[in-house]
Chains A and B, each alone.
Chain A
């Protein structure tokens, strides 16, 4: 057998061994745990520490989502402010859509709730704080991003 052929066979054998090992160690939760313990690790620690990191990353991503959503909402509301006096109904549509994002059902709920908001309050929405207050007031009961 040539050296090159034997080298290829050796490399292939090692790869096959690793593939078989991966299959053998991952065939059940118990065998995976066994490998981890043999490597000096505690599966319970791996899960606890991992879930903590994931929870932190999830919260950070939710904050980014909320921030992005607020920015989009703020831009939509500010652009639509000229409608407050001339067409309050249309303005409520825009604000409801801005608050709800792409969810039409939620937009309908917001639109319904906005019927009770004073036009003067709507006119004050050029300020971030006013938008936030309105947003919090309308979405508190849904608590969709409470995590």
Chain B
């Protein structure tokens, strides 16, 4: 069983108000959803469910923080939300590797999920790993082509996607295009929705 937290950590946590926790909870859940999608889009084999799973990840991260199983040093990482995000990243990596998660996948995907998790956890080159990396690269390429197809014909979405490809951030894109930053955010969110829809369709095909 975990002991008491270090004094500084304990005092910092006690000072976080419910209003601040509310913001952290919502942002952290949104972050977890984004991270799950980020990994899912690499390959259809990592079929992480995103809704309840994201909430569970947030609860786990907060529990690890308060029990001291993950030590928060406010001196080194003053941003609590950022620290919790790093725990979420770690939990997702473990989840991809866990037998429990693999057991929930369709049988045909279990081995692939295991192998992908190994690649993510240990990218050291070996013949097997290289094959898997090529598979991931192929998935990336197909996803990008599918996203381009999904936004084709919408000038703003195409321009924003192109600008992202060129390495520009939303603020720079807004300035270049002479539009509000909020319009760029809307376009980015629309691209995200379409990418997610593309991924769902592709995943259905892989399950067949």
Contacts and interface: CB of A to CB of B under 8 A. Distances in A.
Q: Give the interface SS of chain B, mostly helix, strand, loop or mixed.
A: helix
Interface string A46-79: 1101110110011011001101100000000000
Given A18-B38, A24-B170, A41 B189 contact: no
Interface stretch (B62-70, B71-79, B105-113): B62-70
B194 to A, nearest CB: 11
A47 B22 contact: yes
Interface residues of A, number: 47
Contact of A39 (B4, B10, B51, B143): B51
Contacts of B42: 14
Contacts, number: 142
Given A51-B18, A51-B21, A25 B4 contact: no
The CB with the most chain A CB atoms within 10 A, among B3, B10, B185, is that of B185
Interface of B: 3-5, 10, 13-14, 18, 21-23, 25-27, 29-31, 33-34, 37-38, 41-42, 50-51, 54-55, 58-59, 62-63, 66-67, 137, 140-141, 143-144, 147, 161, 164-165, 167, 169-170, 182, 184-186, 188-189, 191-193, 195
Interface of A: 6-7, 9-14, 16-27, 29, 31-36, 38-41, 43, 46-47, 49-51, 53-54, 57-58, 60-61, 64-65, 67-68
